[in-house]
Structure 1
Amino acid sequence: MSGVATAVSVLVATCTFLTGAVIVGEAGVLSQRAAAAADAAALAAADAVTGVIPGDPCVRAGDVAAANGAVVDWCAVSGAVATVVVHANRGILTAAARARAGPPG
């Protein structure tokens, strides 16, 4: 019976390790998704500020963030520079990201 107990212990340890690895991997993917959503939202807001696209900059940022699976937590415009903070959720995980966009210089 001790061989069975050892095998079960190894199986449980392996499953626990793999579950942790999957969660860490998912957290990394979610973080990148939030960063991409923040970048795109900031670019959309900056485009709205400069008149490239019509509409309110922060509304545009919210639309683009939502299309990328995120929610805008904060949006500010200073001159032609837009700054956006977003968060994305997946299950029990949450990732936040911040991005700025504006004309070069």
Structure 2
Amino acid sequence: MGIAKALARFNNDAGSGSVLALAIIGATVSIAVALLAVLGAFAAHTQASVAADAAALAAADTASYRIPGDPCARAAEAAALHGAALGSCETTRTESLVTVSTDLGWFAISASALAGLPR
């Protein structure tokens, strides 16, 4: 009879619902945290792309003498207005190539853009 009582105690599944609920809550929280990280990276990439486009257009307008000044300085101003930092700037009279980066906290996201006169 002692073995039967011991086996009955192990077959009791009282409290297993709380363990299952904790596992489901833990999985849901883990997925939510991962999704927030991915969405944050997507937003930072979009911000970098928009800043790169604006900086390239500003540099191209200045390089084509439509606006006076230094093309790379204008590109840096445009990137800063969009919350990004200018990484590189190469301009000719007909086109400008810029690279900007935004800081996501633990790493930087960069984007490049090319703008120029129509061909």
TM score, norm. by length of structure 1: 0.94
In the aligned structure 2, how far is the partner of 1:6 from the partner of 1:67? 49
The amino acid of 1:27's aligned partner reads: A
Please say which structure displays the higher CA radius of gyration.
2
Q: Quote the residue 1:74 is aligned against.
A: 88
Q: Quote the residue 1:14 is aligned against.
A: 28
CA RMSD of aligned residues (A): 1.1
Residue 78 of structure 1 and its aligned partner are, at CA, apart by: 2.4
Q: Please list the CA deviations of residues 12-50 of structure 1 after superposition, one character each: whole Å capped at 9, or x if unmatched.
A: 110000111111111111111101100000000011111
Contact 1:27 1:93 in 2 (8 A): no
- Of the three residues 97, 100, 113, the one matched with 1:86 is 100
The amino acid of 1:15's aligned partner reads: V
Q: Secondary structure at the match of 1:83?
A: strand
TM score, norm. by length of structure 2: 0.83
Contact 1:83 1:101 in 2 (8 A): yes
More relative contact order, 1 or 2 (CA 8 Å, 6+ apart): 1
Q: Which moved more, 1:91-100 or 1:6-15?
A: 91-100
Q: Secondary structure at the match of 1:95?
A: strand
In structure 1, the gaps of 5 or more residues are none
In structure 2, the gaps of 5 or more residues are 1-14
Give the percent of matched residue pairs that are identical in Structure 1 and Structure 2.
38
Q: Quote the residue 1:61 is aligned against.
A: 75
